[in-house]
A and B are shown apart, each in its own frame.
Chain A
Amino acid sequence: MSITKLTTNGIVGAKYDTVSADNYYMEPIATTLLTSSQTVISFTNIPQGYKHLQIKGFARDTEAAAGTDDMWMTFNGDGSASYSRHVLSGDGTSVTSGANLSTTRIPFGNSIPRTGSLASVFGVLLIDILDYANGNKYKTVRGLYGANENSTNTGFRICVNSGLWMNTAPITSISMQPEAGSFATNTRFSLYGIRG
């Protein structure tokens, strides 16, 4: 039998809202699909009525060399050293782990194939931003992302990361850009709101 309803009846200590399963759903907020290269993709005036956000990205950049670039994410136009992240990645041969503390953005390392890599290959990013509208918490981000070009180039990886924005302000805008060059044509980022 599937779970369709939760109530507080008979529960001591914990407090839950009475909800129905069909109140929970994911809504598309906005999509940017590039028909020409563009340096920064931003979602602005983000509605504050959701519980969490999710970004799905399909990206490539215009850098001529082979390999991949990082994608950088910032919130509310904040370019101060208010971010940190940890990453676990596999390059097809080795597993590496890294951390960046007090940085000016959240990097999604090795996520974006460059124009000089195998043609028609795009990196894929799934990014969750939890409690984005809460005015009492720092903001937590998690990502699953990667790219493959059917080669032994260790710049092409599968990665999981977590990020932090040390600011309690609700997130009203999100900006993304490659660490070098611009996002290439056919790059797409979609923003979804998750109700809760």
Chain B
Amino acid sequence: MSKTATYSLIATASGTGSSNTISFIDIPQTFTDLILISSAQSASGQRQQYFEFNSDTTQKYSRTILSGTGTSAVSARDSNQFQTYLDYYGVVESTFPGSAITHFLDYSNTTTFKTMLTRSNDPSLGLDAIVHLYRSTFAISRIDIKLNAVNYSTASRFKLYGIQAGNA
């Protein structure tokens, strides 16, 4: 059986302490899917992270959320947003890293809107499962991850992987 690696590391990024934005630009269009892994800490306080795709800040984003806090399970929905948040309770802390993994299926498809799945976790607040919709048929060539109101600490790490499916 031939050995074909499926996960290819496209790029890594780290927080600088002086910016609230991590950018993956010129994303190759040769993969089938993407996975973005975030291990993030804020410069201060509990903060939410959000995505913008292709520098698009129009109201094309929406999401449905399923969360657990340790005492309750909740569901919520955002529609017609200018960005889409990776978290609800699974936010970023300043004293320890929180994790978020987002799957982008068919990110380079130019005939469909883009649907993504995120799992995010904050050990002190809660965890989330989120389905996002970006109502654009453009291929995703740029992903900006932004931290709300404060900078990412230098302990923050981000990795973007390309997933190659088998031949159709």
Contacts and interface: CB of A to CB of B under 8 A. Distances in A.
Interface residues of B, number: 45
Interface stretch (B36-44, B90-98, B101-109, B140-148): B101-109
A30 B166 CA distance: 5
Interface in A39-56: 47, 49, 56
A92 interface: yes
A151 interface: yes
Contacts of A89: 66, 75
A56 to B, nearest CB: 6
A158 B6 contact: no
A134 B155 CA distance: 41
Interface string B61-94: 0111111000001111101100000000000000
Interface of A, secondary structure class, is strand
B47 interface: no
Interface stretch (A11-19, A74-82, A142-150): A142-150
Nearest to A30: B166
Contact of A26 (B6, B62, B132): B6
Interface string A136-175: 0000000011111111100011111000000000000000
Contacts of B5: 25-27
Nearest to B5: A25
Given A150-B135, A151-B79, A124 B113 contact: no
Contact of A120 (B4, B33, B111, B165): B111
Interface string B110-138: 01110111010000000001111101010
A60 B63 CA distance: 18
A140 to B, nearest CB: 19
A95 interface: yes
Interface in B153-168: 163-168
A32 B168 contact: yes
Nearest to A144: B117
B64 A90 contact: yes
Given A151-B79, A188-B106, A95 B66 contact: yes
A11 B6 CA distance: 33
B7 interface: yes
A178 B32 CA distance: 23
Given A56-B105, A120-B112, A190-B166, A150 B117 contact: no
B137 A120 contact: yes
A154 B77 CA distance: 10
Given A31-B165, A148-B115, 15 more contacts: A28-B4, A31-B167, A56-B163, A90-B64, A92-B65, A92-B77, A145-B117, A146-B131, A147-B133, A150-B80, A156-B131, A158-B64, A160-B129, A186-B109, A186-B111
28 contacts: A26-B6, A27-B6, A28-B165, A28-B166, A32-B168, A47-B1, A58-B115, A88-B73, A90-B67, A90-B129, A91-B64, A92-B76, A94-B75, A122-B106, A122-B113, A144-B119, A146-B64, A146-B115, A150-B80, A157-B131, A158-B64, A158-B129, A159-B66, A188-B32, A190-B33, A190-B165, A190-B166, A192-B165
The 9 closest A-B pairs by CB, nearest first: A90-B75, A92-B77, A90-B66, A146-B131, A28-B166, A190-B165, A33-B168, A150-B62, A148-B133
